[in-house]
């Protein structure tokens, strides 16, 4: 039986962050849950595509638009489950335990958000993101999205938007997103030195 998950990562000059992201995904290969890695690139001019190629990723390219990149990645995917992850995010060790349990369901899931910086605003953002997911069933792009292919297709997939694509898909999935116990940590740099 083939592994169920296609990992889809949108990239645009993500050469600095991508190696650590891919290293954390290694656990999924070892545990037999990752079928393939798809890098959906929006025109990188750094080391992103060399890193993706060295990792054995399927590479799809097109205009820079995060929603469009996720959509193209999903169209290329062969897995029964789609796992959308940002290139600057890292999964905490042990993440496959929660994912394996979740694969027995037919619901979408987001990861509990962790933090890298010690800035107080980063902590506030983490608490709010996790609370919003738990109370309202909404998640953001930096929490990852694990979703059965059938459910993804039934809601029309990611809209081709440059921004807020995560909000659009979270609204389409309202009440159908489970918050996993596993943690994903996005780069603190996206929030700047003041959190």
pLDDT of residue 193: 46
For residue 119, what pLDDT band results from cuts at 50, 70 and 90?
low
Query: Does position 195 have pLDDT exceeding 50, yes or no?
Result: no
For residue 136, what pLDDT band results from cuts at 50, 70 and 90?
low
Class of residue 80 by CB neighbours under 10 A (exposed 0-12, middle 13-18, buried 19+): middle
Percentage of the chain lying above the pLDDT 70 cut: 80
* Mean pLDDT of the 58-80 span: 96
For the chain, the residue count is: 195
**If you classify domain 5-186 with CATH, what class do you get?**
alpha beta
């Amino acid at each position: 039986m083939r592994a169920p998950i296609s990992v889809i990562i949108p990239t645009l000059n993500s050469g600095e962050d991508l190696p650590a992201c891919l290293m954390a995904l290694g656990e999924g290969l070892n545990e037999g849950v990752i079928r393939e890695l798809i890098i959906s690139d929006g025109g990188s001019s750094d080391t992103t595509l060399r890193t993706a190629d060295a990792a054995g990723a399927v590479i799809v390219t097109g205009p820079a638009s995060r929603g469009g990149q996720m959509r193209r990645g999903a169209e290329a995917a062969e897995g029964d489950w789609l796992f959308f992850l940002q290139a600057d995010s890292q999964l905490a060790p042990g993440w496959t335990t929660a994912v394996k349990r979740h694969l027995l369901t037919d619901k979408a899931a987001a990861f509990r958000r962790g933090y890298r910086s010690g800035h107080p605003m980063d902590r506030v953002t983490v608490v709010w993101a996790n609370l919003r997911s738990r109370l309202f069933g909404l998640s953001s792009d930096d929490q990852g999205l694990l979703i059965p292919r059938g459910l993804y297709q039934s809601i029309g997939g990611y809209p081709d938007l440059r921004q807020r694509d995560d909000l659009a898909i979270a609204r389409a999935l309202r009440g159908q997103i489970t918050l996993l116990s596993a943690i994903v940590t996005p780069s603190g740099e996206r929030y700047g030195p003041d959190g």
